[in-house]
Amino acid sequence: MVRKVVYSIFLAIIVLALAMFFAAYPFGKNKMTVGEYYLNHGVAQTGAANIVTSVVLDYRGFDTLGEVSVLFAAAAGVAILFFLAGGTKREQEDLTKPNFVVRVGSRIIFPFILLFGSYIFIHGHLTPGGGFQGGSIIASGFLLLYLSYPGTRTNRDGLSIIEGLAGLTFVVLGLIGLFLPQYSFLYNFLPKGILNTIVSAGILPIIYIAIGFKVASEFAGIVDDMMCQVICRGGGK
Amino acid sequence: MNILLEIMLATPFIGGLLAFIGGKVHRWVRYAVAVTFSFLTLIEALVYYNATIKGVVWGSLFGSKLVLQTNPISWLFLFIVTAMSFLIVIFSIGDMEEDKIKLDSYYMQLLFVEGAMVGIVLAGDLITFFMFWEIMSWTSYFLIIYGGKKSVAAGYKYIIMSIIGAYSMFIAIAMLYVKAHSLVYADVAATLAHSSATFVVWTVVLLGIGFFVKAAVMPLHTWLPDAHSEAPSPVSPLLSGVLIKMGAYGLFIVLYGFLSVQLAGNIMPSVFSTPILLYIIQWLAALSIVLATFLAIMQEDAKRLLAYSSISQIGYVVLGIATGTSLGVAGGLFHALNHAIFKGLLFLAVGAVIYRTGTRNLSDLGGLVKKMPYTFTALLLGIIALAGVPPLNGFVSKWMIYEALLQKKEVFLLIMAFIGSTGAFLYVYRLIHSIFLGQLPKKYENVKDVPILMQFPIWVLAVLTIVFGIFPGLAMNVIVKGMKLFGFKPIAYTLFGFPQGTAMGALKVINISAVLVVAFVAAWVLFLILSKSRKVSQYDNYAAGQVVTPELKYNYSFGFYMSFGRVIKSILKLGIERIYNYWVDAAKVFGDYYMRRVYTGNLETYNSYIVIVVTIAAVAILLGGKLW
Amino acid sequence: MIYYVGSFLLIALGLYAVIIKKNLIKILIGLDLIASGVNLLIISIGYVKGGTAPIFSRAGLKASMMVDPIPQALTLTAIVIDASEMALAVAFVVLLYKYYGTLDIKKIRSLKW
Amino acid sequence: MVNIANPILLVVIPLFFTFLIALSGSFLKSGVKYLPVIAFALNLVVSLALIPEVVKNGMVIATTAGFKPPFAIDMAVDKLGLFLSIIASLLGFVASVYNLFYIDEEPQEKFHALFTLLVAGLTWMIITGDIFNLFVAFEVTSIAAFGLVGFHRDKGAIEAGFKYLVMGSIGGSFLLIGIIMLYAATGTLNIVDIAQKTSHLTFQQKLFPFAMIFTGLGIEGALFPLNAWLPDAHPAAPSSVSSILSGIMTTAAIYAIIRLTNTIFDFNQIYFFLMIFALLTLIFGEVSAFFQKDIKRMLAYSTIGQTGLFFFAFSLNTVNGLQGAFMQMVNHSLSKGMLFLVVGGMIMQVGSRNIDDFAGLGRKMKVSSFFLAIGAFSLMGLPPFFGFWSKLKIIFAALQNANAFLVASVVIILLMSVVEGAYFFKLLQVMFFGKQEKDVAVKEASYGMLFSVVVLGTVLLIISFYPSPVIDFMHKAAAEIINKNYITLALKLGGL
């Protein structure tokens, strides 16, 4: 109890200090310096209508490479931890069998989920959304499949090949920049195209598609690993 | 010519590596390499007899030059190091047998220790000095723990105390560096000359702690009895004869190379015309002499006895060096040389006995005089020298120290020095009696004298005790010349002693010896004429009215000085070691307690640490950016 | 303004859960709360009064009417990182439950000192 | 031909190989393990190729996306960053060679991918010039490390991994809050750009972001009391991973703190506080290490102690102190990295992590124990090894403008060195002179594992006997950082 009170006080102090700090930077005030530059020049320089995308993939594309690596690391970590894992017979029997509506409904919905996900990452440079969002939507489709058909397994080798290919696409697209006169990693070397069309913004859509595939396969892999925790009978992969 | 200093420094290290590699080929390659290189070092050292070379720069570090130098005083210690190491390498070949202990790196370590000590005496700046000092510590640690299971604990104690001592020096060196940005001896002296008294005292005290640990001056001696007695036989003389002398050398450099008696006298009060710092050192040394002598008397273990004796004898060296007069310092330095010779001799002789009998417990031994006559003779010479009886070498140096104390009218110290000397008679008698006299236990009836390789170093040292005993001028030649460089008044000397009308009374060892021999012969003749002596068999003995048969040998060397022990028991109870152990244990308990309360294994606790750190920062911010 | 306060409270609540709660799942929820709080904070810093999303989806949108795009980009990254962290954390919790048979953090302390 | 002296390659090459491993993992099964070796060999080449450039210009800056900073992320390698990235590449290379023979558990391809990612992330943390990018690199490192710590999947590994994960992600959140505060204050994320815009901030306004970033990085950098995960995680991880975690991760995190403190947060009031942190870290690390029975745990605590030592030297805030800190960092990375590799081989042979079971190994695994002794000596700071020079420098620097507190801390440091000597000598004497009771057949580690150890040991010996180039280089690096040359150089070279 004393502990709770003491730490509540501590946390109150921290919040107070945070509030004091941010009082100097009030909500809604324009604090942009670099951001202004992006807003003013982003369209001309990258050809993407969505400035957030141009920041994520172009100006700060290297962050995104890191982000992709983080996700990859997490997927690999989960795969390591659940390697050779499997549920006991009891646990498997405890799984409630999904009812008819769920099974049929998920079959109908699944293709639409895939379609929607792909739409989101293909249009990442035009509308809100992008590879990550699209990828996770696709992975949620897989999750639905797992829930309605507990015995489902995905082809893990296939997933990791997609994962690797998508990652390599990103890195190789970046590396091409080093062979150009601009000598800069992730240089947007393709023509910018016309604003607000699908084929615009140079390499950005390609990267987002790659990311979409990568994220989808990684999340699907994580879901698969976690499901396997129960449905596999030890020794599965 | 000067490049040879660096070559000389490198020789033992190269030799050590080659011995290690050569040992992979065949053990005789290892022996040959070790002997060759230690001999080479000795030869290179002899080249510098009485030479003075200042400042051979061999590198630089953090803006301070690294310098090698030599002068006659350094040469004296260089001679001790190289000569003893050479003899010990030879002795090791006989003593350390391949099948007893694995010798993979023994000779490497031995030569490394030699190299490190050469580095110490050749160092011309404190970084070089400290570097080789540390190398000496850890290489000699590996030598000590060659002695088997018990020696590991002893070595552990040794290395920990050495590190503590070394770091104490380290602080002083860092203080000096920060002050002058140069650690060359001359610059250090200049720095100290312009520093406040507090600074000087702190520097000397901190450096002194390092030296005193190595020199085993009480109360920092506790590592020595264990380490010396548990180390392998050839290593003990190296430790006792040579390694602890490095402490004395360092003390000399600090007191007279950096400071000087006049300077010390200017900044601190004097007692008996001695600066108070030196006076305290004198008392510590005197305490070492007396207490260690008492402890030596009580020992049952031959090497332990010699180890305590080493503490006592190094006390004379330090006492002499700390007197601050030409005579006393010369006596101290000379005693360092003498002690190296006779203590090396004693340890080697005892090592020879251990080699044949496998024990160093005095009460198990006895009557070996007929079985090992050469060793007996050598040991006899050694103990005579140790007890300070003319014409052997211990006499002259002790005499000089007494004389110096007498001239300064420091009576208490003189009495303590005398007590130490008298006590020495008791324990050396115990040593030779229990090993060689008395009755021969049955199991040792087949004992032979040791092989020639082991006898050679023993005899060389035995001869040296006589040479330096009769011709003290040989050593004084170097010492006086060297002390002139450090600003001491030269003392007159001749080859045979000291002429009349100089700083001390006339002393001619030959004459004194002659008198002594005459007296001895007279006493013996009287003994023969007057007493009713008769010749008896070694086994003709009684105990409780029963004739003791050879099987039931009566061995009365256990509890030899029991009654004396009862008298001094209260002193022995002081138990410095117990105090140290107490503190170490307390620190351990304390550390354990706090460690367990911090790393509890509980994630909540760990997380709350993070929050606490952030809270502290937040409080600081709320208080307006003030942190305290 | 409410966004600032909300984000601070989320962070504080998350920290509270992490320190005080004994259940591993609740600790994970706490971690997620902290992360959400931080993300909310980032987004609210980027807000400009009256601004719109930084997307030139139709003609007539001017740069001066838009909010800062950088915080949004940062949040995107941060969210993904949080999600990955959470996936890994859940995996750890599943295994911990398997080994220790409990979700009580106080009982999971075989490694200490 | 493309110019390979580009710091960005240091990150991109390992990432490329990581994804290649993922791609080829399914059909190249056993061949996958050679990919990290290639990756880090290339990295080593790149980092060595950077040397002449850095020596010539003082710094190399690489832009991304064809835009100039602060509008795009840049990678900036200054002298110290170069040195650390060489060490990171070297350690990564050596450890990946070691992995060829060490890792026999499945899933191998995941392990190698994560391992490559871990080292890439660390290099990334060292060379990045953008503060949010630093956070991303931090997370790449952390998440790769979480998975690797749990690699053995036994009870201890899972627990350690979970603890590390919770603490690490709290740390990540704090780091992010700090970064966001800086962004709110300056509107930019480039380190040099921020540094130029923070001059108008009050101390208070700078202190809070600093405290947040310090907390975040301090968790990774093993500063007391934020380091409680470390003694659990390092022993639980496979030895090659421990070697990287211990050798580079703490160093990289502390380096990040040093760089941010000296460029962005240009204040002096804080150093006394940092010094207290450093001393506490030192004391608790060394004292706890003394009581350990588990050898890897002992080394892990020793890492904490070493971190405290070089963090102390940094908190002196002088050129000499910083130089000492850098030297100690190099020493620590090489020797502790080597020690973990050696110990991994020994544990493999003995089958136990208990120190008492190591008795007599000195005779059976001669080469390994020889290098273990060298590493231990260098950590203890015994001459003639490199640790001696760095300890000398640190103590000299600490007493430079000595006040009573500094003298007391020097005494503490030296006392803790004695404690360090106490446990390392205990280990050495058990190894060389202990008697093995159990009858186990112990052989020398395989040649491949020895190769890694010998390479690191040789590098350590070389810089031990020829310390002056390293010392001079570190002096220049320290002077550059203290004199804020980082900013001027970056401005000159178009880092902004």
pLDDT digits (tens, 9 = 90+) for D442-466: 777 788 888 888 998 999 999 888 8
**Chains contacting A (3+ CB pairs below 8 angstroms):** B, C, D
CA angle (A232 as vertex; A229, A234 as ends), nearest 5: 90
All residues of chain A having their beta carbon less than 8 Å from the beta carbon of residue B614 are: 14
Q: What CA–CA distance (Å, rounded) separates B251 from B518?
A: 41
Residues 106-135 of B with CB under 8 A from D: 127, 130-132, 134-135
Tell if the CB–CB gap between A81 and C95 is shorter than 8 Å. Answer: yes
Non-local CB neighbours of A203 within 8 Å, separated by 6+ positions: A173, A188, A189, A190
Distances (CA, A) of B576 to B154, B218, B228, B291, B580: 16, 9, 18, 11, 7
Q: Tell me the H-state helices in D316-433.
A: 319-350, 361-364, 366-380, 386-398, 404-433
User: Per the omega criterion (within 30 degrees of 0), is the bond before D384 cis?
Assistant: yes
CATH 3.40.50.2300, domain C2-49+64-107, yes or no = no
Q: Residue B600's domain spans which residues?
A: 576-622
| Minimal CA separation from D144 to chain A, in Å | 5
Query: Are the C-beta atoms of residues D423 and D290 closer than 8 Å to each other?
Result: yes
- So where are chain C's domains? 2-49+64-107
Across residues B449-467, what is the average pLDDT? 81
Q: What is the mean pLDDT of chain D?
A: 86
In a domain, B291, yes or no: no
pLDDT digits (tens, 9 = 90+) for B105-147: 788 888 888 888 888 888 888 888 888 888 888 888 888 877 7
Tell if the CB–CB gap between B621 and A10 is shorter than 8 Å. Answer: no
Partner C contacted by B530 (CB < 8 A)? no
Partner C contacted by D184 (CB < 8 A)? yes
Residue D283 has pLDDT above 70, yes or no: yes
Q: What percent of chain B has pLDDT over 70?
A: 86
pLDDT band, residue B627 (cuts 50/70/90): low
Residue of A15, A82, A222 with shortest CB distance to C8: A15
pLDDT value of position C33 = 92
pLDDT value of position B502 = 56
Partner C contacted by A114 (CB < 8 A)? no
Across residues A164-189, what is the average pLDDT? 82
Handedness of CA A219, D95, D47, D333 (dihedral sign): positive
Structure-token pair, residue D91: 């350690």
Q: Render the burial of A1-23: b for 16+ CB within 10 Å, e for the rest.
A: eeeeeebeebbebbbebbeebbe
In a domain, B73, yes or no: yes
Q: How many domains are contained in chain B?
A: 2
pLDDT band, residue A237 (cuts 50/70/90): very low
pLDDT band, residue D141 (cuts 50/70/90): very high
Q: What CA–CA distance (Å, rounded) separates D21 from D46?
A: 21
pLDDT band, residue B547 (cuts 50/70/90): low
Query: Are the C-beta atoms of residues D55 and A196 closer than 8 Å to each other?
Result: no
Nearest CA in chain A to D124: A66
Please tell me the least confidently modeled range out of A109-123, B322-336, B366-380, D297-311. Answer: B366-380
Residue B38 has pLDDT above 80, yes or no: yes
**Chains contacting B (3+ CB pairs below 8 angstroms):** A, C, D
Residues 31-50 of A with CB under 8 A from D: 31-35, 37-38, 45
3-state secondary structure of D352: coil
pLDDT value of position D294 = 87
In a domain, B402, yes or no: no
pLDDT value of position A123 = 83
Q: What percent of chain A has pLDDT over 90?
A: 1
- The highest-confidence range among A80-94, A111-125, D325-339, by mean pLDDT, is D325-339
Tell if the CB–CB gap between A38 and C77 is shorter than 8 Å. Answer: no
Partner D contacted by B605 (CB < 8 A)? yes
Residue A140 has pLDDT above 70, yes or no: yes
Residues 255-284 of D with CB under 8 A from B: 269-270, 272-273, 284
pLDDT value of position D2 = 65
**Chains contacting D (3+ CB pairs below 8 angstroms):** A, B, C
- D290: nearest Cα among D390, D406, D380, D163: D380
pLDDT digits (tens, 9 = 90+) for D163-178: 899 999 999 999 999 9
Tell if the CB–CB gap between C108 and D180 is shorter than 8 Å. Answer: no
In a domain, B116, yes or no: yes
pLDDT digits (tens, 9 = 90+) for B320-378: 888 877 788 888 888 888 888 888 888 888 888 888 777 777 777 777 767 777 888 88
Q: What CA–CA distance (Å, rounded) separates A142 from A136?
A: 10
Residue with tokens 């030192």: D282
Residue B244 has pLDDT above 80, yes or no: yes
What is the interface size between C and D, counted as CB pairs within 8 Å?
87
- So where are chain D's domains? 269-465
pLDDT digits (tens, 9 = 90+) for A155-169: 778 888 888 888 888
Which of A10, A20, A21, A22 best tests the B interface by mutation, with the highest count of B CBs <10 A?
Answer: A10
Across residues A97-124, what is the average pLDDT? 86
**Chains contacting C (3+ CB pairs below 8 angstroms):** A, B, D
Q: Which amino acid is at D14?
A: P
Q: What CA–CA distance (Å, rounded) separates C73 from C54?
A: 11
Distances (CA, A) of D52 to C84, D47, D55, D57, D480: 40, 10, 5, 9, 17
Tell if the CB–CB gap between A27 and C53 is shorter than 8 Å. Answer: no
Tell if the CB–CB gap between D203 and B625 is shorter than 8 Å. Answer: yes
Tell if the CB–CB gap between C111 and D232 is shorter than 8 Å. Answer: yes
Partner B contacted by C62 (CB < 8 A)? no
Across residues A29-43, what is the average pLDDT? 79
Residue D86 has pLDDT above 70, yes or no: yes
ipTM passes above 0.95: no
Tell if the CB–CB gap between A16 and B618 is shorter than 8 Å. Answer: yes
Tell if the CB–CB gap between B599 and D231 is shorter than 8 Å. Answer: yes
pLDDT digits (tens, 9 = 90+) for B196-241: 878 888 888 888 888 888 888 877 778 888 887 787 888 888 888 8
Q: What percent of chain B has pLDDT over 90?
A: 0
Query: Are the C-beta atoms of residues D118 and D127 closer than 8 Å to each other?
Result: no
Query: Are the C-beta atoms of residues B404 and B323 closer than 8 Å to each other?
Result: yes
Q: What is the mean pLDDT of chain B?
A: 79
All residues of chain B having their beta carbon less than 8 Å from the beta carbon of residue A13 are: 615, 618-619, 622
| Minimal CA separation from B624 to chain D, in Å | 6
In a domain, B160, yes or no: yes
pLDDT band, residue A235 (cuts 50/70/90): very low
* DSSP letter (8 states) at residue C105: G
pLDDT band, residue A51 (cuts 50/70/90): confident
> Can you give the length of chain C in residues?
113
In terms of DSSP bridges, do strands B270-271 and B274-275 run parallel, antiparallel, or are they unpaired?
Answer: antiparallel
Partner A contacted by B572 (CB < 8 A)? no
Across residues A114-140, what is the average pLDDT? 85
pLDDT value of position B537 = 61
Partner A contacted by B153 (CB < 8 A)? no
All residues of chain D having their beta carbon less than 8 Å from the beta carbon of residue A37 are: 71
